[in-house]
């Protein structure tokens, strides 16, 4: 018995990209740092909020790579002049990835009180009806 995958089903033509998307999202790690929220702010907009206490704007980068929102954080080394008696605040780097659906665009990003807010909006495509002409072979 052969295994039927999403991309090989006879009625789902052109969905290979969706299958790759599911595989990519399953492979992304489920690390818990930094914690984040995702909220729906209207029927066509969303907001991702990451808790990035200790990071400045210059320590963060936000990119969209192949329909994937990637947020990276790397703090600059404080130097050897700082001597910690206790270090409970993590200064580790991170990378968080969010797969974006077709038609979802990244809006603005705002830092506020140790939280990074990234706004997303869904652009609704216009319905298209295409008539295909039949020719004699």
Taking the model in full, what pTM does it have? 0.71
Q: Which residues pair with 64 in a beta bridge?
A: 69
Count, residues in the chain: 137
pLDDT digits 0-9 by tens, 47-97: 999 999 889 999 999 999 988 999 999 987 766 687 888 888 767 899 999
Walk me through the domains of the chain, giving residue ranges and CATH numbers. 32-122 (2.60.40.790)
Residue 15, judged by CB atoms within 10 A of its CB (0-12, 13-18, 19+), counts as middle
Q: Where are the alpha helices (DSSP H) in the chain?
A: 16-27
Cα(115)–Cα(46) distance, integer angstroms: 16
What percent of the chain is predicted at pLDDT more than 90? 51
Specify whether the CB–CB gap between 52 and 35 falls below 8 A.
no
């Amino acid at each position: 018995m052969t295994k039927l995958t999403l991309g090989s089903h006879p009625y789902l033509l052109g969905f290979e990209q969706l299958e790759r998307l599911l595989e990519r999202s399953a492979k992304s790690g489920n690390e818990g740092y930094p914690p984040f929220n995702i909220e729906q702010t209207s029927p066509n907009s969303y907001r991702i909020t990451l808790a990035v206490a200790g990071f400045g704007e210059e320590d963060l980068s936000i990119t969209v790579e192949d329909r994937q929102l990637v947020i990276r954080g790397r703090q600059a080394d404080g130097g050897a002049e700082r001597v910690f008696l206790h270090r409970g605040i993590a200064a580790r780097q991170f990378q968080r990835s969010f797969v974006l659906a077709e038609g979802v665009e990244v809006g603005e990003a705002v830092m506020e009180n140790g939280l990074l807010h990234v706004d997303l909006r869904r652009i609704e495509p216009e319905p298209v009806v295409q008539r295909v002409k039949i020719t004699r072979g």
